[in-house]
């Protein structure tokens, strides 16, 4: 049910943009005001969540999940990435997590055969689809920066060149466009098809998938099928960052662009309040970003406070006679 | 309560298909043999835990304090403010499901609420409802729900069906650690007096008497006296350990379970023989007579209160450093918490092995060394005379404890020792060992008897891997470095893979150790004939 609900929310959002621009001619609202509001919400929301919500709580204990041999005796080979004893090791570990999804790569599929035998099989599809999705998304975002630049730098052109090296169609097909649509489709299908994953899925899990699919699809339609006026869109984008808006440019851009932009705005505004904050959270996850050196270096708990204890004196008071009887030395005879 | 009698083939008939109704609409069913008895009021009163009262988990009415919702939400706020992990883990889960089939309780029960992700959602749903804008406005659409008595019961039931083993955390792409969430959940239940007897009893005993089993000073010495008699029978050598001795170089702390029941006691005998052979200047303590920490399964504060004794006693006795025995959660606490709680241990010296001169650099601040690190160093430096053939009747595998593997990274030291004291060592399948090791199924104070079904279900994946090496290589002994393993794996393995025993690593060391002046050994630490000495054993006894 969550998926149906989320699907209709995204359809509704699309219709709002369509009617708002096509019927009500609210170009300024959808082309300028909403994108600004969304961008501000995105920035403020993320800063709030990272600095003032997560950041306001300390990390009282050093609790890395060790996934390899600790640093111990010099002749025992330490796993410097999975059980890092230095900041450099942690940086390596985090880089593997963030760039290559190291932990997800470990994924296994547990299966029970004949009710007696547990077998652990390879399960790399989620890792592969996740990686394909996130890297495509990143490259697409980078490609979009050309709309906000007077002169497009050579590095950007190189990314575009690589992304379209298959040389299919006109305009040239970007591989990332095909990959992101396939990956999101896979992520949706596995969510629906695997019973356990369907069982745990919330509307908040389907919504971003549909939303991102809608964004990618509207982008693809714009580029390959409706062939909107790209020069106009660039002018509009440049206008947004220089706070100057040309009504002619706004009105001269096709409605499909506004749908795309509205869905992107929704994603930006939704981001800080949702699970999408895993983007920031991964960097703050104490089980991954801490050095496994808690016996080498004292980790300070800022709220450590004195507690009521049962002292040795109290203990001896209670057991003195028994201790003496057993020949155990005591403080007071 | 009827005795639990289900046979292994009945228990392993598992259906992993989730129910038709959504999890929020499927009320918790508190099932017999899956939960532990409630704590007794006197056990909670002994340490000043709140809301102590008589109550029973199976009853409809849990006699909750009137303002329980407010108490819980205030405590949640307090925990959120104290632990960044709690906030981050509440916010960033994407429900990808990678953790789902990694939990031994899910694998062994098929109950969807034992998937770590869903066990966490039990708490997250209430977090969203009360601490996030989306949850306050959108309610169920945002995955939020009200805190009700049924939700609380669900928390209690499932947070005491998690052993904080951290296996899910290894596979989570964000490192979300269910152990951390369960710890928060248990802080919350503890606040309402909803503790379990099997935890609260040992906590009270440990606080007042120094150890979980409530062994009084004279009982500790007399227990060890029994071991010394047996050691004399085996080796002809009389050992004289000291207790609470000031001026000793090293304080030795081990879980009290090793002093109480087989096969833990055999491990304790191994320690005694090793230390004697080395001529180690060390002492036991009857006050700091517990390495484990059941307080860790109640509240962070209680854990600190129990842990206090170790440094306090080291200071009182004036030792240089501390050596710790084989235990699982004890080492999570010592490695990751002790120095933060009760340090700095500036009254101790950086640990140096008096036998080899090796500096234990990795313990230079906390000043406590794991016995596997200590012994591996001895063997590497050729300080021990070992006869591994005395363990030739054993085909050994090694079970990594959750906490030493995933909360410390102690993986190679015990393996190195085993390879030097045994000739036949076989690893279990690689997805079930090291950082991917499975819990025994009875950790975090869930090793009671009334929850036997839960323990056996949770122990199924570990036992299944033992079965594999048993069938393929004839493995007949599971070695480990954990007192809870020694106490509970025996039951679980005996149920799933009869014919395989359980041993501590230092029992194997004690058997292989050739001691100066010993008589020719014919029996092992269990007083059973050594391989090839079957005929002579009776005469010796």
Set of chain A residues whose Cβ sits within 8 Å of the Cβ of B158: none
Q: What is the dihedral of CA A150, A155, A160, A165, to 10 degrees?
A: 150
Distance CA A187, CA A175 (A): 18
Regions of chain A with pLDDT less than 50: none
> In the predicted model, what is the mean pLDDT of residues B109-130?
98
Q: What is the pLDDT of residues B404-433, one digit of tens each?
A: 999 999 999 999 999 999 999 999 999 999
State whether B339 and B380 are in the same domain: yes
pLDDT of residue A333: 82
User: Are A307 and B435 inside 8 Å of each other by CB?
Assistant: no
At A172-219, the pLDDT tens digits run 899 999 999 999 999 999 999 999 999 999 999 999 999 999 999 999
- Note whether A242 contacts B: Cβ–Cβ < 8 A: no
- The verdict on B224 and B279 lying in the same domain is yes
CA-angle at A234, arms to A233 and A235, nearest 5°: 90
Our CA-based measurement puts residue B365 at a distance from the nearest CA of chain A, in whole angstroms, of: 5
Give the mean pLDDT of chain B.
Answer: 96
8 Å CB contact of A70 and B408? yes
User: Which residue from B17, B93, B175 is facing A275, i.e. has the nearest CB?
Assistant: B93
Residues B305 and B392 grouped into a single domain: yes
CB within 8 Å: A115 and B14:
yes
Say whether pLDDT at B313 is over 80: yes
Residues B384 and B308 in one domain: yes
Indicate the residue of B169, B218, B432 with minimum beta-carbon distance to A65.
Answer: B169
Out of A57, A202, A296, name the one closest to residue B84 (CB): A57
Mutate to test the interface with A, among B17, B76, B175, B345 (most CBs of A within 10 A): B175
pLDDT at B493 over 60: yes
Would you state the pLDDT for residue B292? Answer: 97
Using DSSP's 3-state secondary structure scheme, residue A108 falls into strand
Burial A294-325 (b: 16+ CB within 10 A, else e): bbbebbebeeeeebebbebeebbeebbeebee
Facing residue for B413 by CB, picked from A59, A72, A277: A72
Query: How does strand B321-324 pair with strand B250-253?
Result: parallel
Whether residue B386 lies inside any domain: the answer is yes
Compare all CA atoms of chain B with the CA of A79 and give the residue at the minimum distance: B409
> Strand (E) positions, B156-195?
none
- pLDDT (mean) for B115-144: 96
Query: Do residues B261 and B150 share a domain?
Result: no
How are strands ordered across the β-sheet holding B477-480? B396-399, B477-480, B501-504
Closest residue of chain A to B48, computed from CA coordinates = A308
Contact assignment for B170 to A49 by CB distance below 8 Å: no
Q: Which residues of A touch B245 (CB under 8 A)?
A: 329
Quick one: pLDDT band at residue B2, thresholds 50, 70, 90? confident
Residue ranges covered by each domain of chain A:
2-325
Q: What are the pLDDT digits (tens) for B281-308?
A: 999 999 999 999 999 999 999 999 999 9
Residue partners of A109: CB distance under 8 A and separation at least 6: A120, A121, A122, A123, B101
Interchain CB contact of A160 with B (< 8 Å) = no
N-term to C-term CA, chain A: 75
B121, B174, B373 ranked by CB distance to A285: nearest: B174
Q: Cβ contact (<8 Å) for B339 and A298?
A: yes
Instruction: Please count the structural domains in chain B.
Output: 2
CA dihedral sign of residues A209, A212, A214, A217: negative
* pLDDT for the residue B533: 82
Q: Work out the minimum CA distance from B211 to partner chain A, whole angstroms.
A: 12
Could you tell me which chain B residue has the CA closest to the CA of A105? B171
B411 and B283 within one domain: yes
Considering the domain architecture, whether residues B105 and B142 belong to the same structural domain is answered as yes
- For every residue of B492-508, DSSP letters joined together read HHHHHSTT-EEEEHHHH
What pLDDT, on a 0 to 100 scale, did the predictor assign at position B536?
A: 61
pLDDT at res. B1: 65
**pLDDT for res A115:** 82
Mutate to test the interface with A, among B9, B10, B12, B84 (most CBs of A within 10 A): B84
Q: Are B187 and B67 in contact (CB under 8 A)?
A: no
The rounded distance, in Å, linking the Cα atoms of A327 and B221 is 9
- Contact: B340, A298; criterion CB under 8 Å: yes
**Across A107-121, B378-392, B505-519, least confident range:** A107-121
Helices (H), A23-86: 27-28, 34-47
Contact B173 A303 (CB under 8 A): no
B295 and B185 part of one domain: no
pLDDT of residue B540: 46
Chain A residue with Cα closest to B471: A117
Pairing mode of beta strands B250-253, A117-122: unpaired
Same domain, B92 and B225: no
Residues B92 and B168 in one domain: yes
Asked if residue B138 and residue B236 are part of one domain, the reply reads no
pLDDT at B541: 46
Q: Does A157 touch chain B (CB under 8 A)?
A: no
Task: Provide the domain limits for residue B131.
Answer: 20-195
- The CATH class of A2-325 is mainly alpha
Q: Are B443 and B163 in contact (CB under 8 A)?
A: yes
Q: What is the pTM for the complete model shown?
A: 0.96
Asked if the C-beta of A315 comes within 8 angstroms of chain B's C-beta atoms, the answer is yes
- The first and second tokens of residue B452, run together, are 């036997």
Q: Are residues B324 and B342 in the same domain?
A: yes
Could you tell me if A137 lies within 8 Å of chain B, comparing CB atoms?
no
Say what angle helices B412-421 and B371-380 make with each other, to 10 degrees: 50
The answer to whether the CB atoms of A281 and B169 lie below 8 A apart is: no
């Amino acid at each position: 049910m969550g998926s149906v609900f989320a699907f209709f929310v995204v359809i509704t959002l699309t219709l709002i943009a369509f009617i708002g621009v096509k019927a009500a001619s609210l170009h300024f609202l959808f082309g300028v005001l909403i994108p600004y509001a969304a961008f501000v919400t995105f920035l403020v929301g993320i800063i709030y969540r990272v600095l003032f919500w997560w950041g306001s709580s300390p990390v009282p204990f050093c609790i890395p999940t060790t996934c390899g041999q600790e640093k111990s005796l010099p002749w025992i080979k330490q796993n410097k990435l999975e059980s890092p004893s230095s900041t450099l090791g942690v940086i390596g570990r985090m880089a593997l997590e963030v760039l290559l999804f190291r932990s997800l790569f470990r994924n296994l599929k547990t299966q029970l055969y004949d009710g007696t035998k547990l077998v652990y099989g390879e399960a790399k599809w989620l890792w592969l689809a996740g990686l394909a999705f996130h890297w495509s998304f990143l490259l697409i975002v980078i490609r979009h920066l050309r709309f906000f630049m007077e002169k497009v730098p050579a590095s950007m052109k190189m990314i575009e060149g690589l992304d379209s090296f298959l040389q299919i169609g006109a305009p040239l097909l970007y591989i990332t466009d095909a990959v992101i649509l396939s990956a999101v489709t896979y992520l949706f299908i596995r969510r629906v098809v695997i019973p356990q994953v369907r069982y745990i899925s919330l509307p908040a899990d389907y919504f971003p998938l549909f939303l991102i699919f809608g964004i990618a699809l509207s982008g693809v339609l714009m580029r390959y099928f409706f062939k909107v006026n790209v020069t106009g869109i660039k002018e509009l984008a440049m206008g947004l960052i220089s706070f100057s808006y040309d009504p002619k440019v706004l009105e001269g851009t096709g409605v499909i662009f506004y749908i795309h932009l509205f869905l992107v705005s929704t994603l930006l505004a939704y981001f800080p309040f949702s699970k999408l904050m895993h983007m920031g959270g991964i960097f703050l996850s104490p089980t991954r970003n801490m050095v496994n050196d808690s016996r080498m270096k004292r980790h300070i708990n800022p709220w450590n406070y004195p507690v009521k204890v049962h002292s040795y004196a109290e203990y001896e008071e209670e057991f003195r006679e028994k201790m003496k009887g057993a020949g155990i030395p005591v403080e007071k005879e | 309560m009827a005795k639990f009698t289900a046979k292994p083939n009945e228990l392993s008939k598992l259906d992993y298909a989730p129910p038709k109704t959504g999890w929020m609409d499927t009320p918790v069913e508190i099932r017999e043999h899956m939960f532990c008895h409630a704590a007794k009021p006197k056990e909670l009163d002994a340490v000043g835990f709140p809301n102590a009262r008589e109550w029973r988990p199976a009853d409809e009415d849990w006699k909750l304090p009137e303002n329980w919702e407010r108490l819980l939400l205030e405590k949640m706020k307090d925990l959120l403010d104290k632990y960044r992990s709690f906030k981050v883990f509440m916010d960033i889960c994407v429900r990808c499901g990678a953790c789902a089939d990694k939990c031994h309780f899910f694998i062994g029960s098929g109950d969807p609420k034992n998937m770590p992700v869903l066990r966490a959602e039990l708490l997250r749903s209430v977090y969203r409802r009360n601490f996030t804008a989306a949850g306050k406005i959108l309610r169920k659409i945002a995955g939020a729900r009200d805190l009700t008595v049924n939700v609380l019961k669900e928390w209690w039931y499932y947070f005491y069906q998690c052993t904080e083993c951290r296996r899910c955390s290894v596979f989570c792409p964000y490192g979300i650690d269910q152990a951390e969430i369960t710890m928060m959940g248990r802080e919350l239940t503890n606040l309402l007096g909803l503790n379990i007897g099997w935890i609260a009893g040992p906590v009270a005993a440990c606080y007042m008497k120094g150890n979980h089993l409530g062994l009084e000073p004279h009982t500790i010495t007399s227990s060890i006296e029994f071991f010394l008699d047996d050691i004399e029978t085996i080796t002809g050598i009389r050992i004289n350990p000291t207790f609470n001795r000031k001026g000793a170089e090293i304080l030795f702390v081990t879980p009290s379970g090793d002093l109480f029941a087989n096969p833990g006691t055999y491990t304790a005998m191994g320690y005694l023989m090793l230390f004697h052979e080395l001529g180690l200047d060390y002492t036991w303590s009857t006050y700091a007579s517990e390495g484990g920490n059941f307080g860790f399964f109640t509240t962070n504060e209680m854990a600190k209160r129990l842990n206090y004794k170790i440094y306090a006693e080291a200071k009182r006795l004036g030792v240089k450093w501390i050596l710790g025995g084989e235990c699982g959660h004890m080492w999570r606490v010592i490695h990751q918490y002790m120095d933060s709680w009760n340090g700095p241990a500036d009254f101790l010296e950086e640990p140096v092995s008096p036998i080899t001169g090796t500096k234990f650099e990795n313990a230079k601040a906390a000043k406590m060394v794991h016995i596997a690190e200590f012994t591996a160093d001895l063997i590497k430096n050729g300080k021990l005379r070992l006869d591994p053939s005395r363990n030739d009747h054993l085909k050994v595998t090694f079970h990594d404890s959750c906490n030493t593997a995933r909360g410390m990274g102690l993986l190679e030291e015990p393996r190195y020792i085993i390879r030097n004291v045994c000739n036949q060592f076989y690893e279990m399948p690689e997805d079930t060992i090291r950082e991917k090791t499975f819990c025994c199924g009875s950790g975090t104070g869930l090793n009671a008897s009334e929850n036997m079904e839960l323990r056996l279900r949770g122990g199924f994946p570990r036992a299944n891997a033992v079965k594999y090496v048993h069938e393929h290589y004839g493995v007949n002994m599971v070695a480990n470095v954990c007192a809870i393993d020694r106490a509970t794996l025996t039951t679980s393995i005996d149920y799933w893979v009869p014919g395989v025993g359980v041993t501590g690593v230092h029992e194997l060391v004690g058997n292989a150790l050739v001691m100066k002046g010993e008589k020719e050994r014919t029996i092992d630490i269990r007083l059973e004939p050594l391989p090839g000495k079957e005929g002579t054993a009776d005469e010796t006894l």
